[in-house]
A and B are shown apart, each in its own frame.
Chain A
Amino acid sequence: AQTVTQSQPEMSVQEAETVTLSCTYDTSESNYYLFWYKQPPSRQMILVIRQEAYKQQNATENRFSVNFQKAAKSFSLKISDSQLGDTAMYFCAFMKPRAQKLVFGQGTRLTINP
C-alpha cells in the first residue's frame, strides 16, 4: 500500500521569505500522480499544484513550485515570496492512475508571520 509522509508538523516563516515543505512517499508503481492541497482556516481543500511521475519537468504555478525527485520518492513544495494568505495546512497526496483515490500525508501547518 502506498504511504505518504510529511515530516514537518509545523513551520513558520516571515512574510516574503521562501519556504519549502517536504513530502516523501512509498510506492512500487512507476506511473502515478502527486498533488499538494492547501487547507486554510476556512477548512476548504484547495488544489495548489500537481505533477505526473512520468514528467521530469517540475510543475510550477505562479509562486508555487515543486522539486520532484522520482528516484528518492520525494515531492517537496516551494513557496516563494510567501504571503499572509499562504497560512494554512498543506497536504501532500498520492494517486495511482485509475485508482481514483488520494492517499494523504499527515499535513504541515504553515504560518506566515507579518
Chain B
Amino acid sequence: DTAVSQTPKYLVTQMGNDKSIKCEQNLGHDTMYWYKQDSKKFLKIMFSYNNKELIINETVPNRFSPKSPDKAHLNLHINSLELGDSAVYFCASSQVLGQGASGNTIYFGEGSWLTVV
C-alpha cells in the first residue's frame, strides 16, 4: 500500500563501487524526483522527471544517472562512489493539478540511507 517505495532502505558499500536505488510510486503521478539529504539534514533536489523525460538536473555530478523506464519508476544509479556521496536519498512524486498547493504537493518515500566506507 506504500505510495512511494524505494529499495534498498540501507546500503553500505565501499568507495569506487557502483550501486543503484530503485523507486516506484503507485499514486498515478506524472512527475518523480530524487532528493538528497546530507549529514546536516539539508535537503536538496537532484533530479526530476515528468513522464519519463528529464526536467531538472541540479548540477549533480555525472556519476549520478537517473533512469525512468516508465512514469511509475525512477531509479538512481551511482558510479564510482565517493565518501561524500554518503547521505539519505529520497524518491518523491507529484501530480501537477492546476493551481493550488494540494495539486502540487510532493510526496516522499521513506529514504535510502547510503553509507560509503
Contact = CB atoms under 8 A, between A and B. Distances in A.
Interface size class on chain B is 20 to 34
B41 A100 contact: no
Nearest to A104: B43
Given A33-B101, A34-B101, A91-B43, A45 B90 contact: yes
A100 B111 contact: no
Contact of B111 (A43, A98, A104, A107): A43
B113 A43 contact: yes
Interface of B: 31, 35, 40-45, 48, 50, 55-56, 88, 90, 92, 94, 96, 99-102, 104-108, 110-111, 113
Nearest to A51: B101
**Which applies to chain A's interface (DSSP): helix, strand, loop or mixed?**
strand
A100 B104 contact: yes
A24 B108 CA distance: 23
A52 interface: yes
Contacts of B45: 101-102
The B interface, classified by DSSP as helix, strand, loop or mixed, is strand
A74 interface: no
Interface in A20-55: 33-35, 37, 39, 42-47, 50-52
Name the interface size band of chain A: 20 to 34
Given A91-B43, A100-B31, A106-B41, A47 B94 contact: no
Which one of B40, B55, B56, B100 has the highest number of Cβ atoms from chain A below 10 Å of its Cβ? B100
A47 B107 contact: yes
B107 A101 contact: no
A34 to B, nearest CB: 7
